[in-house]
Chain A
Amino acid sequence: MARPHDPPPGDSVRELDAELAFHFTETVEALVARGWTETDAHAEAERRFGSRRHYQHHLVSIDRTIQRRRRMRAIFSVDLRDAIRSLRATPVLTAVAIASLALGIGANTALFSIVNGLILRPLPARDPGRLALIDQSSWTNPIWEEIRDRHADIFDGAFAWSNETFDLSTSGETEPVDGVYASGAMFDMLGIAPALGRLIHRSDDVRGGGQQGVVAVISHGFWQGRLGGAPDVIGRRLTVSRVPASIVGVAPPGFFGPEVGRTAHILLPLSAEAAVRGEQSSLDGRTNWWLNIMVRLHPGQSLEAAAAELNRRRPAIRDATLPERYPPGTEYLGTNFTLTSAASGRSTLRRRFAEPLTVIMVIVAGVFLIACANIANLMLARATARRHEMGLRLALGASRARLTRQLLAEGLLLAIAGSLAGIAIARWGGELLVRQLSSSVLTVTLDLSLDWRVLGFTAAVAAVTTVLFGLAPAAGLAGVAPNDALREQARTVAGDRRYGMRNALVVAQVAFSLVLVIGAGLFVRTFHRLSTTPLGFKADDLLIVNVETARTGVTPDGRLPLYDRIVGAVAAVPGIQRASASYMTPLSGRGWNGRVHLTDRPDLAPQQQMTFINAVPPGWFDTFGMRLLGGRDVSAQDVKGAGKIAVVNETFARRFIGQAQPIGHRFSLLEPGGATEPFLVVGVVNDAIYRSVRIGIVPIMYVPLTQLDAPNAAFSLTAQVTRDRASVAAGVKAALAQVDPRLAFSFRDYSDQIGATVSQERLVAMLSGFFGGLALLLAALGLYGVTSYSVNRRRPEIAVRMALGADRRQVARLILRRVGTMVIIGLVIGAALTLWATRFVGALLFRLEARDPITIAVAMLTLAAVGLLAGWLPARRAARLDPTEVLRG
């Protein structure tokens, strides 16, 4: 604190001179009082002091240090102490500011940590910068073996893997667990060391299995959780998809595999696929595209150079792995390989969520800006209220820099408190968000731990806020003159220049929140449309049982009778009304398709040829509540050799048959070896969704299960359920165990299956709705704050107006006009901003224009209504003012 008698601050030399001058004056005076002459007294004082040059030199250097420290203290201790004191003087405002900041920083950090985990964070592997993926698509095992055995010299190494869901159960209902088939070199290539035991070696990944048979490496999490961290886990037997495997090692903590967003808990050698899948093995399948291939570049080798060399050998790879029956000139490996960096791993999730996450990130940043504007506004209001104090302190000699420093210190304190709370919120919110990314079909795991990127991001956000909160009021300080303060508290009118900044902030808030509310409206309506679009079948009471018969040892010929026995047993369970087997179930995420060849006219363009296919038994349409629009259902008489038939949907009929009568029409499918035997259309059913609501209605052909050449070992059973699921599921389990205890099966509610197809839209709708609402609330608060503050300041003016004859309604109108102006300007700017911003969200919408007029209009009306409400409360207060009381006071 400055005191009236301080020597000019910052001048230690003059302070010292003053101190020593005082000392000599006093000494000489005392000596003279004891009878010394003036001259002798001076000499004696000098003698007693000692070498003036020597001491002065010491003293000056000590004082310099003192002064330096005092300055630092002024900044770090005095400013902070003053800042704390001043923030504590307005506890509500401080709490509101810290809470808004914490929420804002928390939401931003949470999202950023997900973006970081999914997109930015490098794969936890040795030298991840040299890892690359061969294209983004998948490959067959013959292609992989060709590359591994004959072309590995192009790279420093290569490995292949396939994401699998293994089954840990020994009988009956499956216990799914995420895992991978990994080629022998994977761990070596990634440079991973085991936490326990050993990892998969090249010697494990040989046809027919290694010396130890089927070996398994388990994740650290699986070991700790499922196996309780047992120290003797090495050598234990584990049933993986009904095949005994022996655990040889535990992967280190933090290792999740090559796929980001998914944790491989069980890792088997690629060759073990033959043991697990038996005769359905894809190891020799030249048309089974199921492997991802990652390579490690040589040091200094560029992606382009490696890709060029691989492509030089593409014809050789192609010739060595060409499937039989593929005629020359087909598109098999017809295009060049491309290599993409895999420094941050491979991720299907990334592709799926990158765009929605970016949009949400922008939304959250927008909300944060609005919150910042609110807090800046509060701080400005506070600063204005403190003009008197500031002016007084300026008048008493405090420097402007000193006051600015204190305001910055207040901003810094708020930012630090907000960031710390924000990081806590982010940790919690991030986990919550990752759970939302998961669905019943997909378990998402992401490493969200704080690394330098996340902390750097938070620090940057905090720094920006500090400057915003600190400098906004400091800018207001610029207008304060020392004498200003003393005549402050005088009457103020609306035109006050100092409101300019606060009004601008409110207008910006309204504009931003309009954009966010419109965005929220678009996403919520998208989700609503997706979930209310008619599916074309009744999914309400359907239970799906996915059945795998491979372990029963049934021959391909015996499968259909087994299907029948299973369906019969399940249909007899109490609480089940109807049950049907089928290859596919709509919206399962899997698909079977083919290309239609027209027998009576030229084929359509290739992209128009595609039809989806399902194999169904008689009565399947009834189970799904679908309507036969003409002709007949498939029947038990449609057997092999009886002439192939198909039931098609309306879209199929429209696209491939046109105006002609569809029943009795023939078409065939295009296969690599040529066109198939023709199918006779015997019936038409109503359109229904096949892949997803977003993809919409597609052509579908239904063929009889009984006419399939070789039915799959796995099929889906769909049952209409009339009782509660739990008791029905128990009955189905018992019934299936009766048929054959070696059957493996899993249950899924149709609603879950449908939900999984819109999980991304649900997430975006939920978050944008929440943050849109928050933006609206913040804008309303900002408007309310500014208006009620200005009403308070204008009390004298309003009182005068009323005394001069203005009635209450005129006063209310006066206030509301100001609010209305701000809202309208905000809406206009916001609408312009929206027109520009919506171009980025078009792809995320469903059957909705990005500039959907209804959404925009409703959002504008909502914002206007909320704005008027926020203005109406203070306006009413102004109108109820008692002029005599105000003017007397």
Chain B
Amino acid sequence: MNYLQGTLDVLILTALSKEPLHGYDVVDWIRTTTNETLQIDDGALYTSLHRMEKRGWLEPEWRISPKGRRAKYYRLTAEGRKQLRAGERNWARFADAVTKVFSAR
């Protein structure tokens, strides 16, 4: 579960790595890029967003969206970026290990 939670966090941090997004954009981006293969509740994504805000990885900011609505945007903080890099490294190591296991067969 923790592992899954960590993966979810890395996904969200990746989504926010280019530019600040609001919650719906994050959900939409993950849904589109994974071709809806990941069955994750939108509620879980929001929980993850807020938890990372609490940890200081994300900084919220209220802005007007392009459609003219008030929306809560999330921006990566320096700490958030650090976590993203760490997450990517971990994932690469994990993937590497799994690949090695498969190729050793």
**Which residues in A have some Cβ–Cβ distance to B below 8 Å?**
3, 5-7, 15, 18-20, 22-23, 25-27, 30, 48-52, 54-55, 58-59, 62-63, 65-66, 69
Contacts and interface: CB of A to CB of B under 8 A. Distances in A.
Given A48-B42, A55-B44, A66-B54, 4 more contacts: A5-B64, A22-B65, A27-B27, A62-B53
B72 A48 contact: no
Contacts of B27: 23, 27
B32 to A, nearest CB: 11
DSSP majority for the A interface? Answer: helix
Nearest to B25: A26
Interface string B42-54: 1110110011011
B100 interface: no
**A-B complex: 4 closest residue pairs judged by Cβ atoms:** A50-B41, A55-B43, A50-B43, A26-B24
Interface in B8-60: 22-24, 27-28, 41-44, 46-47, 50-51, 53-54
Contacts of A30: 28
B49 to A, nearest CB: 9
Nearest to A27: B24
A22 B41 contact: no
B63 A19 contact: no
Contacts of B22: 22
A52 B43 contact: yes
Given A15-B72, A25-B69, A30-B28, A50 B44 contact: yes
Given A23-B24, A62-B51, A18 B41 contact: no
A19 B23 contact: yes
A49 B41 contact: yes
A22 B50 contact: no
A52 B24 CA distance: 16
Most buried by B among A19, A49, A51, A69: A19
B47 A58 contact: yes
Contact of B72 (A22, A25, A49, A62): A22
B43 A19 contact: no
A17 to B, nearest CB: 11
Interface string B63-80: 111000111100000000
Contacts of B41: 48-51, 55
A54 B47 CA distance: 10
19 contacts: A3-B61, A5-B64, A7-B62, A18-B72, A22-B22, A22-B69, A22-B70, A22-B72, A25-B69, A50-B42, A50-B43, A50-B44, A51-B41, A55-B44, A62-B47, A63-B50, A65-B54, A66-B50, A66-B54
Contact of B50 (A3, A25, A59): A59
B70 A55 contact: no
Contacts of A15: 72
Nearest to B23: A23
Nearest to A45: B42
A22 B44 contact: no
A7 B60 CA distance: 12
A363 B66 CA distance: 69
Contacts of B23: 19, 22-23
Contacts of A65: 54
Contacts of B46: 19-20, 23, 55, 59
A62 B46 CA distance: 11
Contacts of A52: 43
Nearest to B70: A5
Nearest to A56: B43
B47 A5 contact: no
A45 to B, nearest CB: 8
A53 B89 CA distance: 35
Given A3-B62, A30-B28, A66-B54, A23 B42 contact: yes
Contacts of A25: 69
A49 B42 contact: yes
Contacts of A48: 41-42
Contact of B70 (A18, A49, A58): A18
A49 B63 CA distance: 23
B34 to A, nearest CB: 14
Contacts of A63: 50
A2 to B, nearest CB: 11
B71 A22 contact: yes
A468 B71 CA distance: 44
Nearest to B71: A22
Contact of B53 (A6, A18, A26, A66): A66
B54 A62 contact: yes
Contacts of A5: 62-64, 70
Contact of B43 (A18, A49, A66): A49
Most buried by A among B22, B28, B42: B42
A58 B45 CA distance: 12
Given A5-B63, A54-B43, A55-B46, A19 B72 contact: yes
A631 B70 CA distance: 115
Contacts of B51: 62
Given A22-B70, A62-B54, A66-B53, A51 B43 contact: yes
Contacts of A51: 41, 43
A63 B22 CA distance: 17
B77 to A, nearest CB: 13
Contacts of B64: 5
A52 B46 CA distance: 11
B64 to A, nearest CB: 7
A343 B65 CA distance: 75
A7 to B, nearest CB: 7
Contacts of A55: 41, 43-44, 46-47
A20 B22 CA distance: 11
A59 B46 CA distance: 8
A401 B76 CA distance: 31
Contacts of A22: 22-24, 65, 69-72
Nearest to B53: A66
A23 B64 CA distance: 14
Contacts of A18: 70, 72
A22 B25 CA distance: 11
Given A7-B62, A23-B24, A49-B41, A59 B71 contact: no
Contacts of B54: 62, 65-66, 69
A847 B61 CA distance: 77
Most buried by A among B46, B62, B63: B46
Nearest to A64: B54
A69 B53 CA distance: 11
Nearest to B62: A5
B36 to A, nearest CB: 10
Nearest to B52: A62
B42 A59 contact: no
Contacts of B70: 5, 18, 22
A3 B61 CA distance: 9
Contacts of B62: 3, 5-7
A511 to B, nearest CB: 53
A143 B36 CA distance: 104
Contacts of A54: 43
Nearest to B28: A30
A30 B29 CA distance: 13
Contacts of A7: 62
A121 to B, nearest CB: 47
Contacts of B44: 50, 55
A23 B46 CA distance: 10
Nearest to B40: A50
B61 to A, nearest CB: 8
B40 to A, nearest CB: 9
Nearest to B72: A19
A699 B28 CA distance: 109
Nearest to A58: B47
